[in-house]
Chain A
Amino acid sequence: MGKVRTHKSVAIVPFWRDIRVLRILAQLAFLMVVIAILLWAISNYRARGLIFGYSFLSKEASFDLAEGIPFKPTDSYARAFLVGVVNTVRVAVIGIILATLLGLVTGIARLSRNWLLRKIATVYIEIIRNTPLLVQLFFLYFAVIMKLPRLSRAIVLAGPVYISNRGVVIPWLRLAESFRLWWPFLLLAAAWAGVLIVIRRRTIRRVGRPGINLLWVFSCLIAVPVLGWLLIPGNPLRFDLPDLVTRSGGVITVDGGVTLSSEFTAILTGLVIYTAAFIAEVVRAGIQSVPKGQAEAARAQGFTNRQILRLIVLPQALRVIIPPLISQYLNLTKNSSLAIAIGFLDLYAVSQTMLNQSGRVVEVFLMIMGSYLAISLTISLIMNIINKRIQIVER
């Protein structure tokens, strides 16, 4: 019976006024408008006699790129793009780590009981947040780094670290011949420490007290590699110290160490200083969001200061800090595209060169969009996993 009645009510409302039909029609209409606009745009593109295709990617690039992974003019366009992607990821990852550290310090300084320190932190944050990043980058690169002394008169710091307008050269650890004998020890140490940590966790869960002191874990992490170092012949690592050399034609270059080009230094420093100011505010808001009563209650329960910070304040503050922190990380990554303005070869700058030399506007544009989306998605994925963990801890 019921079935028949529904049928009847459907029959009463004409289909053009049936909300379900209208909904589908509205969506269809919307979809068709979108498709029509797309088709119209594509037909305009075609009307210009332009073609679309990615075959140029395998062609020889025949330009040179000096930043990041090795690249020769005989390599393909695809390889050139990879150079750009790697450079962007390099800046983003190092930048995120450094910006977090600086932001954390500044955020805490902003809450310091020391009036002077608090003021300095506030002034720093205000100046940075109220001026455009691109202006800061231009200032940093053209007005600061470019005005540094030339390489022949470089500032030498202990290390030795050479600072000039060619960039910063720092000593670096390199793997020596005997490293292949040493790495099994490293592996062993890591595995051992891992096992100890698992056991420790289990005991905590069962007994409520850690059976193994963390000190044991650390000492095993150090002792095994040291033992290995003593056992194998020669040093597995060696210090690569930079040195100025004069080439045959009189060009002064640096041998050894790792050179951070001035462009890399500029974009990294600029991004770190800029993003840290925002992270500092995030950190401050996070810490302030934990009510004072929480700490007071914990103290009344006999928690030590360290325990209060570790078990009460930090978990709650982190819950507030992480989501805006994710968006700051994403901003840093997206802002790294400004590197093009100061000659650093990031993904966007390389794409621009590719575009100029190949003339494939749309193809290169889609590659740029796709890469940034992929990087952004990866960062939010990782951070969301961390976020979920922290939410569980909080519970």
Chain B
Amino acid sequence: MIKEALVEKPPREEVGLLEWLKRNLFSTWYNTLLTFVSLAFLFFVGRAIIVWALHTARWEVVTTNIKVFMIGRYPASEAWRVLASLGVILLLTALTWVFRKLRGRPIRQWLILGWLLSFPLIGVLLRGFSEQNLFLPLVSSRVWSGLLLTLVLAIVGITASFPLGLILALGRRSKLPVIKILCTIYIETIRGVPLISVLFMSQLMLPLFLPPHIRLSTVMRALTGITLFSAAYTAENVRGGLASVPVGQYEAARSLGLSNVLMMVLIVLPQALRAVIPAIVGQFISLFKDTTLVVIVGLLDLLGVAKAVTGQRQFIGLHQEVYFFVALLFFIFCSLMSRGSRRLERSLGVGER
């Protein structure tokens, strides 16, 4: 912010500290007043926070429960599997970072394949096979909790909602009125109601409409709800991307004799999807925050275990410390992701096209 403000002035001049202060804080009488009011505000708020954080707060509630916050009820003896999954992700991230400049080279394709394969790999790693399995015993999704559950819900939610959202977006642009109307109704209905009501539906109502022998765990049901919800938003993002593809592209594809399906797959979608990546990342960040709502339907995500921790006998009522810690975790994750998405946006050059 400050950099921009300085750079804006065309002949770049060296500004001394006093000059800078005068320009940015004390240029007019009301500016001076604002500065003093802000300073007073900062002083009182800052002092209160520092006194609380260093003096009043009992941080041992966070330090003793750190494992609970991270993996919750996931068995401690199997915690290495979570770490291994994290390792896989970090490794892939590092490789992607190292090879980020190699556009269109084979190594890049391997990386994409690696990312795609990491999903089932991590799924199997976390869940295991059967109870008797010696190496990877079953850890039912019922005991997945803490930050682990939050991440699983957000990542699987956004990935699973993508194909569904794509289909809905294409359906909404379809020339066939029945398909178009049904898709529009779905998208607009879901976007018009709160996520919590969709979660409510998937938790309490969905089982009533399934045959008795199909039983989903509460985590699976929450995932269903999140996916159905997120798909409607993905659909609107994808629709925006489809609209951004110039008509000339369609016409050119047709004149080459491509069928409708080929035109979509080869010409339109690659361009459209490229345009929606930033929007999808934004959607992922807000979905990541929204997963906290599962606490209302009784799941133990990061916020859910935080709530449980405030009920522990020796730490009863330490809401400030616990919720501050949870907020901090979310803040770190979300800021990193939005920073990343801005970088991605620039590297994709979406704005320039």
B127 interfacial contact with A, CB 8 Å:
no
Bound form: Cα–Cα A26–B179 in Å: 9
Q: Is the CB of A139 within 8 A of B319?
A: yes
B335 interfacial contact with A, CB 8 Å:
yes
Most buried by B among A116, A126, A136, A373: A116
B290 interfacial contact with A, CB 8 Å:
yes
Q: Is the CB of A340 within 8 A of B303?
A: no
Most buried by B among A31, A42, A348, A369: A369
Instruction: State the majority secondary structure of interface residues on A.
Output: helix
B344 interfacial contact with A, CB 8 Å:
no
Q: What are the interface flags for B171-203 relative to A under an 8 Å C-beta threshold, 1 for contact and 0 otherwise?
A: 000011111001000000100111111001100
Q: Give residues 111-130 of A contacting B (CB, 8 Å).
A: 112-120, 122, 126-127, 129-130
B102 interfacial contact with A, CB 8 Å:
no
B163 to chain A, nearest CB (A): 17
Residues of A within 8 A of B338 (CB): 130
| The one of A31, A120, A132, A142 that contacts B310, using a Cβ cutoff of 8 Å | A142
B129 interfacial contact with A, CB 8 Å:
no
B324 interfacial contact with A, CB 8 Å:
yes
Q: Is the CB of B176 within 8 A of A23?
A: yes
Closest A residue to B27 by beta carbon equals A113
Q: Given A115-B24, A115-B25, decide whether A377 and B323 contact each other with a Cβ distance below 8 A.
A: no
Number of interface residues of B (CB under 8 A): 56
Q: Given A348-B196, A365-B205, decide whether A30 and B2 contact each other with a Cβ distance below 8 A.
A: no
| The one of A30, A143, A372 that contacts B178, using a Cβ cutoff of 8 Å | A30
B306 to chain A, nearest CB (A): 8
Q: Is the CB of A337 within 8 A of B197?
A: yes
Q: Give residues 302-327 of B contacting A (CB, 8 Å).
A: 303, 306-307, 310, 319-320, 323-324, 326-327
Residues of B within 8 A of A143 (CB): 319-320, 323-324
State which of B67-75, B245-253, B291-299 sits at the interface with chain A: B291-299
Q: Is the CB of A134 within 8 A of B295?
A: yes
Closest A residue to B321 by beta carbon equals A143
Q: Is the CB of B42 within 8 A of A120?
A: yes
| The one of A28, A42, A130 that contacts B209, using a Cβ cutoff of 8 Å | A42
Q: Is the CB of B208 within 8 A of A119?
A: no
A62 interfacial contact with B, CB 8 Å:
no
B119 interfacial contact with A, CB 8 Å:
no
Residues of A within 8 A of B178 (CB): 27-28, 30-31
Q: Given A135-B292, A138-B307, A341-B295, decide whether A372 and B327 contact each other with a Cβ distance below 8 A.
A: no
Residues of A within 8 A of B212 (CB): 44, 47-48
Bound form: Cα–Cα A376–B38 in Å: 38
A386 interfacial contact with B, CB 8 Å:
no
Q: What are the interface flags for A34-53 relative to B under an 8 Å C-beta threshold, 1 for contact and 0 otherwise?
A: 10000001101101101000
Q: Is the CB of A134 within 8 A of B303?
A: yes
Bound form: Cα–Cα A386–B348 in Å: 36
| The one of A127, A142, A147 that contacts B331, using a Cβ cutoff of 8 Å | A127
B31 interfacial contact with A, CB 8 Å:
yes
Q: Give residues 1-57 of B contacting A (CB, 8 Å).
A: 1-2, 5, 24-25, 27, 31, 34-35, 38-39, 41-42
Bound form: Cα–Cα A251–B110 in Å: 71
Q: Give residues 185-239 of B contacting A (CB, 8 Å).
A: 189, 192-197, 200-201, 204-205, 208-212
Q: Give residues 1-43 of A contacting B (CB, 8 Å).
A: 23, 26-28, 30-31, 34, 41-42
Residues of A within 8 A of B331 (CB): 127, 130-131
Q: Is the CB of B295 within 8 A of A337?
A: no
A32 to chain B, nearest CB (A): 10
Bound form: Cα–Cα A334–B286 in Å: 14
Q: Is the CB of B176 within 8 A of A26?
A: yes
Q: Is the CB of A337 within 8 A of B208?
A: no
Bound form: Cα–Cα A117–B1 in Å: 12
Residues of B within 8 A of A122 (CB): 1
Closest A residue to B179 by beta carbon equals A30
A133 interfacial contact with B, CB 8 Å:
yes
Q: Is the CB of A113 within 8 A of B310?
A: no
Q: What are the interface flags for A323-349 relative to B under an 8 Å C-beta threshold, 1 for contact and 0 otherwise?
A: 000000010001101101100000010
Residues of B within 8 A of A132 (CB): 289-290, 292, 303, 330
A368 interfacial contact with B, CB 8 Å:
yes
Residues of B within 8 A of A114 (CB): 24-25, 31, 34-35, 38
Q: What are the interface flags for B87-128 relative to A under an 8 Å C-beta threshold, 1 for contact and 0 otherwise?
A: 000000000000000000000000000000000000000000
Q: Is the CB of A139 within 8 A of B323?
A: yes
Q: Given A138-B323, A335-B194, decide whether A340 and B209 contact each other with a Cβ distance below 8 A.
A: no
A228 to chain B, nearest CB (A): 40
Q: Is the CB of A130 within 8 A of B335?
A: yes
A97 interfacial contact with B, CB 8 Å:
no
B342 to chain A, nearest CB (A): 13
B281 interfacial contact with A, CB 8 Å:
no
Residues of A within 8 A of B310 (CB): 142
Q: Is the CB of A27 within 8 A of B176?
A: yes
Give B residues with C-beta under 8 Å from A: 1-2, 5, 24-25, 27, 31, 34-35, 38-39, 41-42, 175-179, 182, 189, 192-197, 200-201, 204-205, 208-212, 289-290, 292-293, 295-296, 303, 306-307, 310, 319-320, 323-324, 326-327, 330-331, 334-335, 338
**Given A139-B323, A368-B193, A373-B192, 17 new contacts (CB under 8 A):** A26-B176, A28-B178, A41-B209, A113-B24, A113-B27, A114-B24, A115-B2, A117-B38, A126-B335, A127-B331, A138-B306, A138-B307, A139-B319, A147-B320, A335-B194, A337-B196, A365-B200
The 6 A-B residue pairs whose C-beta atoms are closest, nearest first, are A115-B24, A130-B334, A41-B209, A132-B289, A142-B319, A334-B194
Q: Pick 7 A–B contacts, CB within 8 A, sort by A.
A: A115-B5, A116-B24, A131-B334, A139-B320, A369-B193, A373-B189, A376-B192
